[in-house]
Amino acid sequence: MAGREIMYREALREALFEEMGRDESIFIIGEGIAERGGSYKVTEGLLAEYGPTRIRDTPISEAGMIGVGVGAAIAGARPIVEILYVDFAMLGMDMIVNQAAKFRLMTGGRGRVPFVLRTQGGTGGGVAAQHSQSLEALFYHIPGLRVVMPSTPADAKGLLKYALRQEDPVMFIEHKHLYMTKGEVPEGELITEFGVADIKREGTDVTLIAWSNMIPRTLQAAEELAEMGISAEVLDPRTLVPLDRVAILKSVAKTNRCVIVQEAVRRGGVASDISSIIQEEAFYSLDAPVQIVAGMNTPIPFNLTLEEASVPQKNDIIAAVQSVLHHKAA
């Protein structure tokens, strides 16, 4: 398949156009997603193509739109609910956690909830504490939810198309700083299965595990490490649920060292769980303890300098790698 470079938001838009053309049961609801095309222009042009029945603006009521989406999914449609900031998904947590995630089990497998919640999180631009959180760990904790966090345009398209063909609820979390980034996306059909990690850069000295907007930052760190003679392997899980444990353990067995990078606050984060998996299942492969580079345990400041200080930067990743490489067993 021939490749071309397009933006992350264009890749998402392509996925929506293609899947809505393939399946008439897919519809989208959200704030400003119809005539306005969404705040990040992902849904631009969809209203003209598919009409106001399938592309619907909603009132400012996240609880209402998530409830409508979950109910429609149970009734047999394939709704996409767009929530502008992942912070606002908290208003619909009962529907997500107590209804969508549990309906399949509570109906003995007869019921399905093919529901996709598209949203974005993370820091950037000084939009402060209520618009900058990385909340993937909340959804990661809930059995029954799929959690997807693509870092590249190709992954965004392939994973969204796969999400729209599933029978279980999917939390599809994008990042505000990735929409304008460009990457190669193959022409034609592109489907990326959940639970398959991607090695963004091969390496032999240390495994760097990251996702979403931490992937570009980690790749920058890997470039600088290479100039120091350090070969870093960068692994992107792409989906946190399901998690590709096999790929993670295989990479750690190869490099014998691991640094995990997450934008979310350190306490109770996904990185801690991945670290525990490595410690339990690959302990004897490790030549140094697993290091975690994560956000500070603080609300995100409005001030841009403080915002930058509150989440991992390239130099933090480099310092962590140097620490694990210089570790000496007692």
Please state whether beta strands 146-148 and 291-295 pair in parallel, antiparallel, or not at all (unpaired): unpaired
Give the position of tokens 């009734």. 75
Please state whether beta strands 182-186 and 3-7 pair in parallel, antiparallel, or not at all (unpaired): antiparallel
H or E element, residue 316? helix 314-325
Rounded to 10 degrees, the C-alpha dihedral 132/137/143/145 comes to 30
* Nearest of 110, 193, 101 to residue 138 by alpha carbon: 101
> 141 CB contacts (<8 Å, ≥6 apart)?
none
* Nearest of 293, 300, 260, 294 to residue 277 by alpha carbon: 260
> 145 CB contacts (<8 Å, ≥6 apart)?
96, 97, 100, 101, 139, 168, 169, 170, 171, 241
Give the Cα separation of 207 and 256 in Å (integer): 8
Give the Cα separation of 180 and 90 in Å (integer): 26
Give the Cα separation of 124 and 300 in Å (integer): 10
DSSP string, 257-302: -EEEEEEEESTT-HHHHHHHHHHHHSGGG-SS--EEEEE-SSPPPS
Judging by beta carbons within 10 Å of its beta carbon (0-12, 13-18, 19+), is residue 57 exposed, middle or buried? middle
- Are the CB atoms for 218 and 234 separated by under 8 Å? yes
- Residues with a catalytic annotation lie at 131
- Are the CB atoms for 255 and 203 separated by under 8 Å? yes
